[in-house]
Amino acid sequence: MPTAGRPPRWFLREPLPDARARVFLLPYSGCGASMYRHWPSEYQGVNFVPVQLPGRENRLRERPFETYQELGHVLSEVLKPHLDVPYTLFGHCSAALAAYETAVQAVGRGSRPPQRLFVSSEVAPQDGPYGRHLQMDDEELAEELRGLIVQLGGNPLPTFVGMTLGVLRGDIEVNRRYHLADPPKLPCPITAIGWSGDVGMEPERMTGWAACGEMDQVVFDGGHYGFIKGPENLLRLLTDGVTADRPSTGPAGGRSEEAC
């Protein structure tokens, strides 16, 4: 939960007041909002807003959330003033579960529902916990972090890796505890995004999202980190989804072979 005193900064860049729609981007395990620094703040009039969670980067001193339900409860309230235009949530890997839970809580509060929920490289709540990170020891996780930092264009300094490792380990435990045998069904459609070269999450494992709402699926070329730099085809998919009255990316299980 946020600490007392100075108001927490939930966004690295404030939502644009004149946007025609917004896409809220949730960071995945061990990462902060800066993982979306390569993404544009605006694309075709749609505002892309990276969300900063407590316990990381400029909010490092704050206690991180211990469950996705707790996160969704708080974040759905934080986002409420910014839901004056159509919006969607995007989460990759574990952040997909956080995005889903935030959507569930927002709908439960009577807030405007998302136009569509976008979940990337993650199984549905009833099919988890699942993922190769769940079985990794600290050295294996540290190696993953070093690779991710390089992908983001940074320098994997030992002190930074060590500091981030604790955040990652805590996030993995949150993931490990999250399982919903009968997940709430959202009133908005869900697009499950798979990546053809993602060895840790084969796209066919994502079909369970159909239990959470009307679902379709696209598969982009690329690996697990294919989303990092905000590829054009992904930006276009999110933009089309948040601006359409009843967006559709094709039939369930459909594929898109656009290169990332």
3-state secondary structure the chain: CCCCCCCCCCECCCCCCCCCEEEEEECCCCCCHHHHCCCCCEECCEEEEEECCCCCHHHCCCCCCCCHHHHHHHHHHHHHHHCCCCEEEEEECHHHHHHHHHHHHHHHCCCCCCCEEEEECCCCHHHCCCCHHHHCCHHHHHHHHHHHHHHCCCCCCHHHHHHHHHHHHHHHHHHHHCCCCCCCCCCCCEEEEEECCCCCCCHHHHHHHHHHCCEEEEEECCCCCCCCCCCHHHHHHHHHHHHCCCCCCCCCCCCCCCCC
What is the average per-residue pLDDT within 165-171? 90
- Average pLDDT of the chain to the nearest whole number: 90
Could you tell me what percent of the chain has a pLDDT over 70?
Answer: 91
Does residue 139 carry a pLDDT above 50?
A: yes
pLDDT for residue 5: 47
Q: Among 84-93, 117-126, 144-153, whose mean pLDDT is lowest? A: 144-153
pLDDT for residue 8: 66
Q: Could you tell me which residue, 110 or 133, shows the higher pLDDT? A: 110
pLDDT for residue 182: 98
What is the average per-residue pLDDT within 105-128? 98
pLDDT band at 151 (very low <50, low <70, confident <90, very high): confident
**Domains with residue ranges and CATH for the chain:** 21-243 (3.40.50.1820)
Q: What digits encode the pLDDT tens for the residues 71-82?
A: 999 999 999 999
Q: What digits encode the pLDDT tens for the residues 196-210?
A: 999 889 999 999 999
pLDDT for residue 200: 86
